[in-house]
Amino acid sequence: MEPISEAVKIVSAVNSSLLAPSATTNTRTSQHECRMCADTGYQGWKTPHAGYSMEECIFCECATGQRVLEYWKRKSVAKKQADMEKLFVGACIPAHFRSFTLDSIRQRAVNEPDKKAAIDAVEQWITAGYVEDPATKRYKSGLVLAGDYGRGKTGTMTPAIRHSLEQGKSGLWIEVTDFVGAIQSGYRDGTSLERLEAAQKVDVILLDDLGDKSRDGAETDDRRRIIYQLVNYRHNNGLPMRITTNLNGQQMAAQFGGANCRANHGIVRMGEYGGAQFAPGVSQ
């Protein structure tokens, strides 16, 4: 009988220390709310402060551990974002688009029913985390808005990027021409790889204005290779993108090998293709 009553005593001591830690005696365990981590938030001695990566550290499941984990997560996103802004000038949402919300783009498009599908797709992505591809009816985690110049593709995509940033994710917003230019200009000073890697790994990316409709055939090898490395890496690592393009699906396939885009991006047309909707000189 003795061992059982010992066990009961121990259990009741544990319970009282959990319920009222300050009222218990000052044994080593009773000084801490969490006996797993002694209120440090870490299990084990590896911490980011000591130079270990977050993956190497074991964060406790208690409230303190989760607070510590949140702290390091925020810090790592902030660092990613700062690095991004060093590598790409103006890496985030341009001033002109900052005020765009789902409501404001719906307001603007109230007399343009041909934009509804695109706006709905952005809203679906924000609320559900995926987009139903109109052609295949499959759910995709990335989104391509395709349509002619001046249709407002970039503005329509803006709330999706804002949403991700507000969720504490790192983001890169970049026009394809600037992206390719930034990579190519880095060949001389050796920053190309660093830039490419940052774009490959950032949480969210808006690749704005992919393609050039006036080209019938393939892109130049270098330009195509640069874009392919970005698209393919993100595809293989489950990091889909937000893309705006004035190309249709066939042109995208011809210029960039569109299979990867098709695989994990819903492709939603914005407005009609063709001459009637073309509005030269209108900034998107």
Which residues of the shown chain bind Zn ion in the complex (CB under 5 A)? 34, 36-37, 60, 62, 65
Rank residues 22 and 214 by Cβ distance to Zn ion and give the closer one.
22
The DSSP secondary-structure symbol of 284 reads -
Distance between CA atoms of 235 and 264, rounded to whole angstroms? 7
Rank residues 59 and 179 by Cβ distance to Zn ion and give the closer one.
59
Rank residues 60 and 122 by Cβ distance to Zn ion and give the closer one.
60
Q: Which residue is listed with tokens 């952005």?
A: 122
DSSP strands (E only) in 217-264: 242-245
Distance between CA atoms of 268 and 134, rounded to whole angstroms? 7
* Beta partners for residue 242, in sequence order: 143, 206
CB of 9 to Zn ion, least distance (A): 24
Q: Which residue is listed with tokens 């960039």?
A: 256
CB of 246 to Zn ion, least distance (A): 53
Rank residues 72 and 130 by Cβ distance to Zn ion and give the closer one.
72
Q: Please name the residues in contact with 203: beta carbons below 8 A apart, sequence gap of 6 or more.
A: 77, 80, 164, 169, 170, 171, 239
Q: Please name the residues in contact with 28: beta carbons below 8 A apart, sequence gap of 6 or more.
A: none
AA letter at 98 = R
Rank residues 62 and 196 by Cβ distance to Zn ion and give the closer one.
62
CB of 60 to Zn ion, least distance (A): 3
Rank residues 64 and 255 by Cβ distance to Zn ion and give the closer one.
64
CB of 40 to Zn ion, least distance (A): 7
The DSSP secondary-structure symbol of 134 reads T
Distance between CA atoms of 267 and 134, rounded to whole angstroms? 7
Residue pair 198/82 in contact by the 8 Å Cβ criterion: no
CB of 29 to Zn ion, least distance (A): 12
CB of 152 to Zn ion, least distance (A): 50
Q: Which residue is listed with tokens 């393009």?
A: 245
CB of 16 to Zn ion, least distance (A): 19
Rank residues 68 and 144 by Cβ distance to Zn ion and give the closer one.
68
Distance between CA atoms of 69 and 54, rounded to whole angstroms? 8
Residue pair 199/174 in contact by the 8 Å Cβ criterion: yes
